[in-house]
């Protein structure tokens, strides 16, 4: 479980099936913005496990942490991501 | 990840075309696809994540050239075929 303000990093992964973690946010560092609660877990539901649930968070990434020097330094990107996509980060 | 829909941050597609006063559907068949999909979801024939997975399984060379509702139609047809949903009607 993560709390608002925690630093997190998205795990390196490349599943063959459906996922809510887009490629451009794999291996990126951000901060927990909102705890959304327990929600239907898309990845496993897409594989036919209809009861699957997981805690989800809104994670905010600085645009520069995603697109480097090509980003607007004032910008940020929010994504709603499931717990298993994330690991704690310093 | 890593299927043809996952193009966030990619260059080369040009600007988004914003259509003032855009109608919900541009063709009557699009509304039919929308309605059939809503019905099948509500009936439990498949769930929304399975539908999204079916969209993402569209062959890349077809996906890139297809409109929004052409992709929906492809996913709908795939799921109906894979799950033999028409067999129920034929009985």
Q: What would the pLDDT profile of B18-69 be if each residue is shown by its tens digit?
A: 999 999 999 999 999 999 999 999 999 999 999 999 999 999 999 999 999 9
Domain ranges in chain A? 7-88
> Range of B82's domain?
47-91
Number of domains in chain B: 1
Tell whether B37 is covered by a domain.
no
Compute the 3-state secondary structure of chain A and give helix, strand, coil in percent, each to the nearest 5: 20, 40, 40
Q: Which residue is closest to A23 within chain B, CA to CA?
A: B1
Distances (CA, A) of B50 to A32, A44, B57, B67: 28, 9, 10, 20
Mean pLDDT of A68-74: 94
From the list A15, A46, A67, which residue is nearest B9 (CB)?
Answer: A67
The continuous run of DSSP H or E covering B49 comes out as: helix B48-56
Tell whether B57 is covered by a domain.
yes
Distance of alpha carbon A38 from alpha carbon A30, whole angstroms: 20
Distance from CA of B8 to the nearest CA of A (A): 6
Do A23 and B50 count as a contact with CB atoms less than 8 A apart?
no
Q: Does B32 touch chain A (CB under 8 A)?
A: no
A73's tokens:
């330094």
- Annotate A45-63 with DSSP letters as a single string: HTTT-TT-EEEEEEEEEEH
Q: Judge whether B34 and B90 are in contact, CB under 8 Å.
A: no
Distances (CA, A) of A60 to A11, A31, A40, A87: 15, 5, 21, 14
B52's tokens:
């999204």
Q: Which residues of A touch B8 (CB under 8 A)?
A: 22-25
Q: How is domain A7-88 classified at the CATH fold level?
A: SH3 type barrels. (2.30.30)
Distance from CA of B6 to the nearest CA of A (A): 6
Do A22 and B50 count as a contact with CB atoms less than 8 A apart?
no
From the list A19, A46, A48, which residue is nearest B1 (CB)?
Answer: A19
Q: Which residue is closest to B8 within chain A, CA to CA?
A: A24
pTM assigned to the model: 0.91
Tell me the three state secondary structure of residue B66.
Answer: coil
Q: What would the pLDDT profile of A31-48 be if each residue is shown by its tens digit?
A: 999 999 999 999 999 999
Query: What is the reported pLDDT for A44?
Result: 97
From the list A21, A45, A67, which residue is nearest B49 (CB)?
Answer: A45
Do B1 and A15 count as a contact with CB atoms less than 8 A apart?
yes
């Amino acid at each position: 479980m993560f709390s608002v303000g925690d630093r997190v990093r998205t795990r390196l992964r490349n599943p063959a099936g459906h996922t809510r973690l887009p490629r451009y946010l794999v291996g990126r560092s951000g901060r927990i913005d909102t705890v959304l609660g327990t929600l239907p877990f898309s990845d496993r539901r897409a594989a036919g496990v209809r009861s699957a649930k997981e805690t989800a968070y809104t994670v905010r990434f600085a645009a520069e942490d995603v697109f480097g020097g090509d980003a607007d330094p004032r910008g940020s990107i929010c994504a709603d991501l499931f717990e298993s996509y994330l690991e704690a980060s310093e | 990840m890593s299927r043809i829909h996952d193009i966030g941050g990619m260059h080369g597609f040009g600007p988004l075309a914003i259509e003032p006063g855009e109608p919900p559907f541009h063709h009557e068949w699009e509304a039919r696809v929308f309605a059939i999909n809503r019905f099948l979801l509500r009936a439990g024939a498949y769930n929304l994540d399975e539908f999204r997975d079916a969209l993402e399984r569209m062959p890349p060379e077809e996906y890139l050239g297809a409109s929004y509702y052409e992709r929906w139609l492809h996913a709908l047809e795939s799921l109906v075929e894979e799950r033999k949903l028409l067999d129920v009607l034929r009985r």
